[in-house]
Amino acid sequence: MAATVFIALEFFMKLLYYTPMAVLASIILSALPGLIDIREACNIWRVDKMDFLICLGAFLGVLFGSVEIGLGVALAISFAKIIIQSLRPQVEVLGRLQGTNTFCSVRQYPVACRTPAVQVIRIDTSFLCFINATFIKERIMEWVRAEVDTSNEKVRERVHSVVLDMSNVVNIDTSGLVGLEEIHKELASLGIQMAIASPGWQAIQKMKLAHVVDRIGEDWIFLTVGEAVEGCLTAHKGSAMEC
């Protein structure tokens, strides 16, 4: 294809030199209807509103400016989308599906049962970093404090453990490590034990190098959420029996 285009530009463009501008314009206009797919645009709108905004920005940029402007608008909106999603990642409270050892979001699956006295929270970001560490920490502590207040008001068993499901966290930076330490300290001040389940290998390696694992305790790093929940329940029963 490249060779054909090169030959056409080199040898046949001279034959079109004296073609009237009206003819060239009609050729371009005849090709435009095939480039506009309204049905696909409507499908993009139904699936993802932000993707439709990118599509619309590129279309208007090219229509009223140039190809470079349309591409620049699309890239700017795409980067803004990535930054917004990184700033405010999903943080979900998990529950166990009855009769299984599977934990899933209670918002997505209302039938999932939350474990009494153990708060299971999943961090839905692949990179725990300076952009989102503060938001995640505040969100987790907000839910924990609300759960503690609710348990005190309803005179039920108080939350004694929080399990952080980090299966989606592939990597972490120093700000993310500091955020984990702050979460651990704030939970400890409330008398709540923190456990971490299934962190990515890069994340756990950095946690070891920064001595975060030593501060949390190697016994509180688990392979799965189910093991973490069982470990928290067993440790609490053991401490209750000692008391």
Domain for residue 25, yes or no? no
Residues contacting residue 165 through CB under 8 Å, at least 6 positions apart: 94, 103, 120, 121, 122, 123, 197, 198, 225
What tokens does 166 get?
Answer: 């980090």
Whether 49 and 137 map to the same domain: the answer is: no
Give CA–CA dist 188/70, Å, rounded.
52
Q: Which band of pLDDT confidence, cut at 50, 70 and 90, is reported for residue 152? A: low
Q: Which band of pLDDT confidence, cut at 50, 70 and 90, is reported for residue 243? A: very low
- Alpha-carbon distance values, 109 to 84, 101, 125, 243 (Å): 26, 15, 20, 37
Whether 83 and 188 map to the same domain: the answer is: no
What tokens does 200 get?
Answer: 């990515």
Most confident of 23-32, 58-67, 82-91, 170-179: 170-179
Domain for residue 72, yes or no? yes
Domain for residue 32, yes or no? no
Whether 192 and 106 map to the same domain: the answer is: yes
Which has more confidence, 28 or 42? 42
Contact 93, 147 (CB under 8 A): no
- Cα 146 vs. chain centroid, distance in angstroms? 23
Number of structural domains, the chain?
Answer: 2
For 9-27, what is each residue's pLDDT tens digit?
888 888 877 888 888 888 8
Task: Quote the pLDDT of residue 121.
Answer: 95
Task: Quote the pLDDT of residue 238.
Answer: 58
Residue 136, pLDDT > 80, answer yes
Phi, psi of 87 (to 5 degrees): -65, -40
Residue 165, pLDDT > 60, answer yes
69-75-81 Cα angle (round to 5) = 140
Task: Quote the pLDDT of residue 51.
Answer: 92
- Alpha-carbon distance values, 8 to 3, 97, 161 (Å): 9, 65, 72
What tokens does 142 get?
Answer: 């907000």
The pLDDT mean for the chain works out to 88
Whether 133 and 210 map to the same domain: the answer is: yes
Domain that holds residue 103: 89-150+158-238
As a whole number, mean pLDDT of residues 225-235 equals 92
Q: Which residues pair with 169 in a beta bridge?
A: none
Residue 242, pLDDT > 70, answer no
**Residue 114, SS3?**
coil
Task: Quote the pLDDT of residue 240.
Answer: 43
Phi, psi of 11 (to 5 degrees): -115, -25
For 137-146, what is each residue's pLDDT tens digit?
999 999 898 8
Whether 189 and 118 map to the same domain: the answer is: yes
Give CA–CA dist 155/26, Å, rounded.
78
Whether 132 and 200 map to the same domain: the answer is: yes
For 93-113, what is each residue's pLDDT tens digit?
999 998 888 899 999 999 999
Domain for residue 18, yes or no? no
Whether 48 and 115 map to the same domain: the answer is: no
**Residue 104, SS3?**
strand
Give CA–CA dist 161/240, Å, rounded.
14
Other beta carbons within 10 Å of 145: 13
CATH number of the CATH domain containing 110? 3.30.750.24
